[in-house]
Amino acid sequence: MKILRFTVCFVLMSVSAAAFAQSDMHKPADTHALSPAQKSFATMKTLAGEWEGPVAVAEMPEMSDGKPLHVSLRVTSRGNAVVHEMQEANTPLDPSKYDHPLTMLYVDGDQLNLIHYCDAGNRPHMTGEMSPDGKTLEFALVDVSGGTKHGYMQHAVFTSIDTNHHTEDWTFMMPGEKPMHAHFDLHRVN
């Protein structure tokens, strides 16, 4: 029985390795062959790291209390996804007490996609386009999975200032379709 399990494991690993090798053959060799979505995704990957900075909420100045936001961006899944996590800086990872939304970015076909796993209990799906100067990536809403009773994230913009500084602008639609705009001014801390 042990030999059968070992053989099955070995065969599965061999097939997986062959599939990964074959999928690598289809990847463009240089950035000139990349689609606009792939170029945008490559830009997002350069933001991998730990970031902190103040938050300004236009519609609620009292929320701009000087407490910094911590954003973590990491490339995962063999380079096929970027995970974006945000939380108030210097707070523990305790989803029962603190907000901790997670966002996944990935390329599917000819689109750069963003799915935001929101603390409001839903999953907005957005697609992004890069500005002509290559510094700003803007995401527009496609659809929302889950209820929107408590609001939903509707828009996101990432702007690269330099390798150690970027901004993020997120628009959350409150109940009653009232937009709330948050601006994060983030500096690399790691």
Q: Which residues constitute the domain of residue 145?
A: 30-188
Number of domains the chain is built from: 1
Question: CA torsion, points 131, 134, 135, 136, in degrees to nearest 10?
Answer: 30
The values of phi and psi at residue 48, to 5°, are -55, 130
- The model carries a pTM of 0.80
d(CA 53, CA 185): 5
pLDDT of residue 18: 43
d(CA 11, CA 17): 10
d(CA 157, CA 166): 10
Let me know if 40 is exposed, middle or buried by CB neighbors in 10 A (0-12, 13-18, 19+).
Answer: buried
Asked if residue 115 belongs to a domain, the reply is: yes
Calculate the CA 3 to chain-centre distance. 43
- Per-residue pLDDT 10s for the chain (190 aa) are 545 444 344 333 443 444 444 444 445 445 578 999 999 999 999 999 999 999 999 877 766 666 799 999 999 999 999 999 998 887 766 666 557 799 999 999 999 999 999 989 999 999 999 999 999 999 999 999 999 999 999 999 999 999 999 999 999 999 999 999 999 999 999 8
Q: How many residues does the chain have?
A: 190
Asked if residue 37 belongs to a domain, the reply is: yes
Q: Which residues make beta-bridge pairs with 103? A: 84, 116
pLDDT of residue 30: 57
Cβ-count burial 124-163 (b if 16+ within 10 Å, e if not): bebbbebeeeeebbbbebeebeeebeebbbbbbbbebeee
- CATH no. for residue 63? 2.40.128.20
pLDDT of residue 15: 37
Asked if residue 25 belongs to a domain, the reply is: no
Asked if residue 152 belongs to a domain, the reply is: yes
Contact of 175 with 152, CB cutoff 8 Å? no
pLDDT of residue 182: 94
Q: How many helices (H) and strands (E) does the chain have?
A: 2, 11
Asked if residue 121 belongs to a domain, the reply is: yes
